[in-house]
Structure 1
Amino acid sequence: MAGWVHHLIIAPIIIPLVAGALSLIVDGANRKLKGAISLVSTLLLVVVGTILVAAADAPVDEKWSGFVSTYLLGDWPARFGIVLVLDRLSAMMVLMTSLLGLAALIYSFARWYSVGINFFALFQFQLMGLNGAFLTGDLFNLFVFFEVMLAASYGLAMHGSGAPRVKAGLHYIAINLAASSLFLVGVSLIYSVTGSLNMADLANKVASLEPESRVLFEVGASVLGVAFLVKAGMWPLGFWLPKTYSAACAPVAAMFAIMTKVGVYVILRLWMLAFGAGAGESAYFGSSWLLIGGMLTIGFGATAVLASQDLTRLASASIVVSSGTLLAAIGLGTVDVTTGALYYLVSSTFSAGALFLLIELVERGREAGADVLAVTMEAFAEDDDDKVFDDDIGVATPGTIAVLGICFISCALLIAGLPPLSGFIAKFALLKAVFSYGAVITTVSWVFMALLILSGLAALIAMTRAGMRSFWATVGRQVPHVKVIEIMPIMGLLFLCLVMTIRGGSVIGYLHETASALNLPKTYITDVLETPYGKPGKDGGVTQ
């Protein structure tokens, strides 16, 4: 990899760190300057993320011999020092985080940034924690970046105050502190057995562990897995998620759409590295738990989607469904299924982020208690009288309502997995992989297919019901005042899903290479452990 591009690996961590620090230094009253700093930082992250994706995807014979590139901080050996690792998966996650962050940040400029003086600093620190978690190559620094990310999210979860938001935020803090404690216990057990926390080094040692040590290692991995599954929202560990996400303000909830994906990412990364085909007796350890737990989570999430009478609850339940789908796909463990899961991960994150932003604009046109009144009218089979209905005939739909309606329909298609958008391609890719030619068709395959289809049907029913109440019901309906700066981020995220649809072949090709590398991690392990360290010698080599 070209020298200057190689040093960009640390940029997604440094840029938001500097921006967050500057935001704290700037006087609290000068929020425009804080916003400008945050905007420049996030735009730079998008540029850097794009370059890193191109570098990771470059053929080996070009100057960017990407695929896997290891960045050693302080030139310490990877097994002992802080190491950042860039591959296709981490580059994709960094770019996805930056794009979602940019949309949420621009949306916040309409009004949410002014509710708290430290919004921009917390926002940048959360981006730093997210990017660090995706790029780090060892468990200790994964814990550090997790805590940075969570510490920022604690403040963002309660941004805007209000009793429901504070109550949900305190529950969120308590649950994640407990999960962080499990994280430390699991890491300690693993270190006591292997003497290392570097992911590549752990993967290299698993196959040769003694039986007694292997048991302790698997116990540590199980404890660590529980901590990640809490963050990923697996049922029943994700009971906290719907309340927290639905209580958060719109731009924060949109950013939280990627928080569960961090837990999924870490499980995918560690499970493929440490418990892949080369793990000896520990090969595919815990796969059945991931598969069963993921399918149960889909079922729970789909039920919650149908039961939700509130749009924010519905969106939060759809996050649970997406987490369950991804965890079940990881449990299946084939290259093609992982490819479909990665495509689904990106599509569901962008669509959920767009929906969280859109909900506030839709609810702005509804009077308080209108949803409850609509449900009551449905329960007692009471409709608007014919006179009101007749008066509405021929009345043109306002432009604002039309734009919001189109965006809402797009979100519904994406979340339900209906054509022609990327949500359909994602689910089709998953089902095609499960029932591909030569694959062993089992009862699990049929159950997974049924859950995937039924969860889409549940989302379609719930979104249709919510859309009719929000856009067609006469009870409490008015045209909301929507700023361009609020609708553009939503359209931008939906446009990204459209691009994923149009360029589906290229995206699937990139993700297939990513999945292949995850299922055969030898290149990752070799590159990390054999990266030269030390100061450059006179002959241009390194002294070790």
Structure 2
Amino acid sequence: MSHLSELTAAAMPHLMLAPIALPMFTAAFLLLLREEQQRLKFGLSVLSTLAGLLVASALLQWTHQASAPASMGVYLPGNWPAPFGIVLVLDRLSALMLLLTNIVALCSVLFAGARWQRAGVHYHTLFQFQLMGLSGAFLTADLFNLFVFFEILLAASYGLLLHGSGRARVQSGLHYIAINLAASSLFLIGASMFYGITGTLNMADLAQGMAHVSAEDRGLLHAAAAILATAFLIKAAMWPLNFWLVPAYSAATAPVGALFALMTKVGVYTLLRLWTLMFGTEAGASALFGSLWLIVGGMATMAFGAIGMMGSQRLTHLAGHAAVLSSGTLLAAAGFGQNALTAGLLYYLPSSTLAVGALFLLADLIDRWRNDGTTLAPYESDDDAPFLSPELVPTAGLNLDDDEQVLVGRVIPASAAFMGLAYLMCTLVIAGLPPLSGFIGKFAMLTALLNPLGLGSSAGTRPGPVGWTLLALMIGTGLFALMALTRSGIRHFWASPERSMPQLRVLEGLPIAVLLGACVTLTLQAEGVMRFTTATANALHAPGTYVRAVMSAPPRPAPAAAVQAGGAVQ
């Protein structure tokens, strides 16, 4: 048994390559298949994404160990030590993001198999390349490769956003491409300035050199950080840089919109990672640089998202503004630099992402039901059996009015009941109401704001008036979200009783059920998840372990035969 555990421990670092390599090879193989082979492409894409989910689950369990050395994996793909070579790092935060990505991705690709994969060409190829870019962004440990993976996921997202047809989609897609190209340019400028000042792009190397930057270069360093942060804040949808998000996300197809719910979280992840590494309490004169900007900008984003939800008439616009509201909440909470607050936001992050993703998928079904009277479009496959029967049960024995309509005891069709229950759960999570995980995440953050000196808090920015403002905004924006979603629910589910009953296929209902089931799981396992996020937050705000693990990771020694051969040649 001990030998088996040693083999497992030795193999786990190599498994870190799987989240990047698996979608890359899958995408390359899918390019070789003809577009007529949609069933095969769909099956391979689902199997690859499911395998990625299993790998992410194994990596998450591996990182969440009691001993600190086992909670982080460092892999040197080129076998060069840091900071000279490429480094991949897996810790609790990156493992959490990998698991969240693969859950949303699996649900998205399943939903696409029912309808949207046939709206254009190379859907699954682009989908797998986007997964590769997302996974690489969460695993990389240097700014240059972060830029490379960002460009991979952005290039794939351009094709996915334009997948389908329609003037609105093309127009929003062009705006999306233009703003992200500008963000990429800012990324390059900021990274170049960092390299010019410090001579390195390795994140751990940058972290240990922050306190030693000369006073003459400190202003230029802060300027470089501001330029780099602007690129990430565009991706994280901070106001006023988020004008592009709602039109683009609402114009995308439903499974793409659900996957794009992760895109803003990539910006939040990157900011949280780099800010805690380079501008933590150990950064000398640069400690907590930009924290007030994060807090104020995040609160402005929260207000923008809440007002946008109140003014939205379309469900996809509601989902887009809900993503903005979630991102603003995360950015404002991150700016305080407190362990307890960071632990709460890390619990809230997957909850809100899962709910927004489910709302994008649900919006597609509701809109088709409202516009066409049914959600079941003609399909060319032979598996058209509905997921839930739309038929009303017989009305014999029920009270009828003068028009022979059911007066008391009208039975809700199973398909409509499923959609209504799913919409209710999305509303509860997004608005942060009990008993689901959105409430627990917000309650944890509110508790940290009200008790900044409590157990687990660190010496970050103390609340004061800013903290009370954030507390009021978290409660107020939750109320706005509740009113907006309730109003929309009344309009879609109660205001049109004469419509035909909806039909749901398995591939349409199952992904929504999985996403919301994950929210229920987060609720039921709240204590264990909070322990995990607390350990993650503690590690983020004490980056010394990360720096030492990366900088001390030794290259693998060459085999003895190769060494002897090299000696013979010499």
**TM-score scaled to structure 2, two decimals?**
0.89
Identify if the C-alpha distance between structure 1 residues 388 and 455 changes in structure 2 by more than 3 Å, giving closer, same or farther. Answer: farther
Match of 1:406 among 421, 445, 458: 421
2:398 matched to which residue of 1?
none
Counterpart contact for 1:200–1:525, Cα < 8 Å: yes
Mapping of 1:214-363 within 5 angstroms? 214-363=218-367
Q: Aligned-pair distance for 1:478?
A: 2.7
2:31 matched to which residue of 1?
24
The CA deviation string for residues 88-126 of structure 1, in whole angstroms up to 9 with x for no partner, is 000110111011100001111101111122000000000
Aligned CA-pair RMSD:
2.0
Secondary structure, counterpart of 1:70 in structure 2? strand
Looking at structure 1, the residues matched to 195 and 321 of structure 2 have their Cα atoms a distance apart, in angstroms, of 36
After superposing the two structures, state which structure 1 stretch, 500-509 or 387-396, moved more.
Answer: 387-396
Q: Aligned-pair distance for 1:21?
A: 0.5
Looking at structure 1, the residues matched to 283 and 403 of structure 2 have their Cα atoms a distance apart, in angstroms, of 67
Looking at structure 2, the residues matched to 303 and 22 of structure 1 have their Cα atoms a distance apart, in angstroms, of 45
Looking at structure 1, the residues matched to 214 and 468 of structure 2 have their Cα atoms a distance apart, in angstroms, of 38
Looking at structure 2, the residues matched to 368 and 484 of structure 1 have their Cα atoms a distance apart, in angstroms, of 20
Q: Aligned-pair distance for 1:481?
A: 2.1
Looking at structure 2, the residues matched to 427 and 393 of structure 1 have their Cα atoms a distance apart, in angstroms, of 42
Secondary structure, counterpart of 2:285 in structure 1? helix
Looking at structure 1, the residues matched to 30 and 513 of structure 2 have their Cα atoms a distance apart, in angstroms, of 28
Q: Aligned-pair distance for 1:491?
A: 0.5
Aligned length: 521
The CA deviation string for residues 399-427 of structure 1, in whole angstroms up to 9 with x for no partner, is 11111101110111011100000000010
1:427 pairs with 2:442: yes
Secondary structure, counterpart of 2:240 in structure 1? coil
Match of 2:464 among 423, 429, 442: 442
Q: Aligned-pair distance for 1:26?
A: 1.1
Q: Aligned-pair distance for 1:368?
A: 7.0
Secondary structure, counterpart of 2:302 in structure 1? helix
Looking at structure 2, the residues matched to 155 and 304 of structure 1 have their Cα atoms a distance apart, in angstroms, of 27
Q: Aligned-pair distance for 1:484?
A: 1.5
1:56 pairs with 2:63: yes
The CA deviation string for residues 130-171 of structure 1, in whole angstroms up to 9 with x for no partner, is 000000000000000000000000000111111111111111
The CA deviation string for residues 241-295 of structure 1, in whole angstroms up to 9 with x for no partner, is 0111111100000000000000000000000000001100000000000000000
Looking at structure 2, the residues matched to 438 and 390 of structure 1 have their Cα atoms a distance apart, in angstroms, of 66
Percent of pairs with identical residues: 50
1:493 pairs with 2:500: no
Q: Aligned-pair distance for 1:360?
A: 0.9
Looking at structure 1, the residues matched to 154 and 431 of structure 2 have their Cα atoms a distance apart, in angstroms, of 30
Looking at structure 2, the residues matched to 283 and 311 of structure 1 have their Cα atoms a distance apart, in angstroms, of 42
Secondary structure, counterpart of 1:66 in structure 2? helix
The amino acid of 2:12's aligned partner reads V
Looking at structure 2, the residues matched to 487 and 33 of structure 1 have their Cα atoms a distance apart, in angstroms, of 22
The CA deviation string for residues 372-409 of structure 1, in whole angstroms up to 9 with x for no partner, is xxxxxxxxxxxxxxx99995644322211111101110
Looking at structure 1, the residues matched to 210 and 313 of structure 2 have their Cα atoms a distance apart, in angstroms, of 48
Looking at structure 2, the residues matched to 58 and 389 of structure 1 have their Cα atoms a distance apart, in angstroms, of 66
The CA deviation string for residues 211-267 of structure 1, in whole angstroms up to 9 with x for no partner, is 122221111111000000000000000110011111110000000000000000000
Counterpart contact for 2:206–2:278, Cα < 8 Å: yes
Looking at structure 2, the residues matched to 481 and 402 of structure 1 have their Cα atoms a distance apart, in angstroms, of 11
Secondary structure, counterpart of 1:333 in structure 2? coil
Mapping of 1:52-201 within 5 angstroms? 52-60=59-67, 65-201=69-205
The CA deviation string for residues 454-506 of structure 1, in whole angstroms up to 9 with x for no partner, is 11101110111111111101277332221121011101110100010000000
Counterpart contact for 1:66–1:87, Cα < 8 Å: no
**TM-score scaled to structure 1, two decimals?**
0.93
Q: Aligned-pair distance for 1:538?
A: 5.5
Q: Aligned-pair distance for 1:363?
A: 1.4
The amino acid of 2:444's aligned partner reads A
Mapping of 1:29-48 within 5 angstroms? 29-48=36-55
Identify if the C-alpha distance between structure 1 residues 81 and 471 changes in structure 2 by more than 3 Å, giving closer, same or farther. Answer: same
Looking at structure 1, the residues matched to 437 and 404 of structure 2 have their Cα atoms a distance apart, in angstroms, of 39
Secondary structure, counterpart of 1:289 in structure 2? helix
Secondary structure, counterpart of 2:17 in structure 1? helix
Identify if the C-alpha distance between structure 1 residues 388 and 514 changes in structure 2 by more than 3 Å, giving closer, same or farther. Answer: farther
1:481 matched to which residue of 2?
503
